Structure 1
Amino acid sequence: MVLPSVISEPSPIDPLVLLPLPNTLPSSPISDLDPLLSALEAHLSPSSTNDPNVTKLPIPVLTALMRQITRRSQVLLNAARVGAAEAREELDGVDGDLRGVEYERERVKEEIDRCMEYAPAYEELDLPDIESFLASADESVLSSLPPKDDEGYEHAVTIARLENELNEITKREAHLAQLTKDRDALIRAKKEIKIKFDAVDVHLTGFGRSANAVAAKLKDVAEIAGSTAVASSTPAPSPAPAMAPSLSS
């Protein structure tokens, strides 16, 4: 058997590359390389080729040892590749988580900055002062407030003032809605009255025209009747006297 002079890189479709990983990985073949090299030198060295005292392993045995070492090395290499791929995937996941955490940190920082710059809008409202509010507030509201020496007393009073203002605004909005509803009802009633008025105006206009036409007819009839009465009361004219015959005739 001729030993190869050059050992190339394994092919991606080499069965050794595609070996499944065993449950227990083999030991490292590094410790077996020196005896194998010594056995190969016994076959390759010119000085030991003709020396009968040198024990030489048969070539098939050396080939089997080389295949065994190659197989173990390939299994360890495949395991290292799988471990590297898993480590790379885990690193990518950790990197993604880190980016997410950094993003959330920036968002939280922005929210903190916004909170630090926050100016309460209720400070611009025209709220009654605390003394006036406490003097006019209901007993139920006052009983719900914490003691004055409590840390949340001012906060609770502010909330109560805002709720009271909200109730007042709600009442005013309800009153405004009722006024708007009444206004719309009046507008609708006005429109209905206008429609009825226009209808009556049209009816009266037609009635006036009819009355004028009847009056004109009555006037014409009266004029005709008057003319007939005058003609009947006037005497007939007398006939002219006859002329006497002349003597010459």
Structure 2
Amino acid sequence: MVLPKTIHPPSPLDPLLLLPIPSPLPSSPQPDLDPLLHSITSHINSTSEEEETVPITVLTSAIRQSTRKSQILLNAARVNAAQARDELDGIDERLREVEYESTRVQDEMRKCSEYVPAYEEMDLPSIEEFLSSADESILNALPSKDSEDYENELMIARLEHELREIEKRENQVNQLTKERDTLIKTKKEIKMKFDAVDVHLGGFSRSANAVASKLKDVADLPSSKTQTQTQTPQIALEGEQIST
């Protein structure tokens, strides 16, 4: 029997790798390896056929059985390792999610602790001014000063009162804005009418100037004729004087 000199890695299609895993796993072949190795060594070193040795068929059967047990245990170990790896990956993923949520919650808690309410930055009237100017119905709706909700309800009442005041001022601003827009519109209309009247007066002034110029020309015509007639006798008299 020629033994191989090198052992190649098993093929993925090796039937031993595809063996089904039985429900009760076989026992480990480790205790049987030493006697099997001793029998194989005795069979190889035997020099005569008369020596009693284990037949080669029995040895090969024992080798196959040990190999099958080893491969089944190896396949089971691989399956268990894969399952453990998947479980570990799931645990690691859940751990990362928990760490992320923990970090996010801590950030939110820090933001909440550092949060400054907007009403604290508002210029609200003092409590005395509010109590002196608030309606009786609002004051009667407040709980007693010994109550734990008094400060909270008082702040809410102050904010609501300030909101009503702001709405009143906004309504006044809107009303003034409407009046301003109306005045601007009226001013534009008056300016348009004034421009139209100005154009009309300009045309009327030009027409009046033209008429006045014509009247002046007409008024100047008789005076020029009279001057011509008076100058003619004077010239005649001067001629007679010269001739005499």
TM above 0.5, one fold? Answer: yes
TM-score by length of 2: 0.73
The equivalent of 2:26 in structure 1 is: 27
Helix, strand or coil at the partner of 1:10: coil
1:5 to partner: Cα distance: 4.0
Q: Does residue 1:96 correspond to 2:75, yes or no?
A: no
1:191-232 C-alpha deviation (Å, 9 max, x unpaired): 232233223222222221222122112212222344346556
Helix, strand or coil at the partner of 1:151: coil
One-letter identity of the residue aligned with 1:160: A
CA separation in 1, counterparts of 2:71 and 2:226? 149
The equivalent of 2:14 in structure 1 is: 15
The equivalent of 1:40 in structure 2 is: 40
Structure 2: 5+ residue runs without aligned partners? none
Helix, strand or coil at the partner of 1:15: coil
Judged with a 3 Å threshold, the aligned counterparts in structure 2 of structure 1 residues 3 and 25 are, in CA distance, closer, same or farther, namely farther
Q: Does residue 1:170 correspond to 2:167, yes or no?
A: yes
Aligned partners of 1:145 and 1:153 also within 8 Å: yes
Judged with a 3 Å threshold, the aligned counterparts in structure 2 of structure 1 residues 234 and 19 are, in CA distance, closer, same or farther, namely same
Aligned partners of 2:21 and 2:76 also within 8 Å: no
Q: Does residue 1:210 correspond to 2:212, yes or no?
A: no
More helix by share: 2
Q: Does residue 1:227 correspond to 2:215, yes or no?
A: no
1:69 to partner: Cα distance: 3.9
Aligned partners of 1:29 and 1:73 also within 8 Å: yes
1:46-95 C-alpha deviation (Å, 9 max, x unpaired): 3796423x44251xx54455445434433443443343334334333433
Aligned partners of 1:146 and 1:152 also within 8 Å: yes
1:156 to partner: Cα distance: 1.7
Which is further off, 205-214 or 111-120? 111-120
Judged with a 3 Å threshold, the aligned counterparts in structure 2 of structure 1 residues 233 and 124 are, in CA distance, closer, same or farther, namely same
Judged with a 3 Å threshold, the aligned counterparts in structure 2 of structure 1 residues 50 and 165 are, in CA distance, closer, same or farther, namely farther
Structure 1: 5+ residue runs without aligned partners? 244-249
Which is further off, 161-170 or 132-141? 132-141
Judged with a 3 Å threshold, the aligned counterparts in structure 2 of structure 1 residues 219 and 84 are, in CA distance, closer, same or farther, namely farther
Name which of 190, 194, 218 aligns with 1:193. Answer: 190
TM-score by length of 1: 0.72
One-letter identity of the residue aligned with 1:152: D
CA separation in 1, counterparts of 2:195 and 2:20? 100
Which is further off, 135-144 or 186-195? 135-144
CA separation in 2, counterparts of 1:18 and 1:234? 154
Which is further off, 16-25 or 148-157? 16-25
CA separation in 2, counterparts of 1:184 and 1:20? 93
Judged with a 3 Å threshold, the aligned counterparts in structure 2 of structure 1 residues 118 and 232 are, in CA distance, closer, same or farther, namely same
The equivalent of 1:84 in structure 2 is: 81
CA separation in 2, counterparts of 1:17 and 1:156? 80
The equivalent of 2:67 in structure 1 is: 70
One-letter identity of the residue aligned with 1:123: E
CA separation in 2, counterparts of 1:89 and 1:184? 74
One-letter identity of the residue aligned with 2:44: L
Name which of 153, 157, 161 aligns with 1:156. Answer: 153
- What does 1:108-127 correspond to in 2, within 5 Å? 108-127=105-124
What is the RMSD computed on CA atoms of the aligned residues? Answer: 3.7
Aligned partners of 1:17 and 1:74 also within 8 Å: yes
Alignment: residue pair count: 238
1:111 to partner: Cα distance: 3.2
Judged with a 3 Å threshold, the aligned counterparts in structure 2 of structure 1 residues 6 and 26 are, in CA distance, closer, same or farther, namely farther
The equivalent of 2:104 in structure 1 is: 107
The equivalent of 2:51 in structure 1 is: 51
